[in-house]
Amino acid sequence: MEKTKIMDDTEIRISGIEALSKALGPATALRFLTLLHREP
């Protein structure tokens, strides 16, 4: 039985950005993150 590794905040951020970049492409991923950052 394998132990599930708990990811810290930095690992989650990196994995999320990598997944977005892979799915959307780097330019669109950056645009998406910018849109989220602007939301109130």
**b (16+ CB within 10 A) / e for 8-17:** eeeeeeeeee
Cα 27 → chain centroid: 14
**Over the Cα atoms of the chain, what is R_g?**
13
Residue 1: per-residue pLDDT = 58
pLDDT-derived band at 3, boundaries 50, 70, 90: confident
Phi, psi dihedrals of residue 3, rounded to the nearest 5° = -80, 135
Q: What is the average pLDDT value for the chain, to the nearest integer?
A: 91
Residue range 7-34: mean pLDDT, rounded: 96
Return the structure tokens found at 37: 């950052």
DSSP 8-state secondary structure symbol assigned to residue 5: P
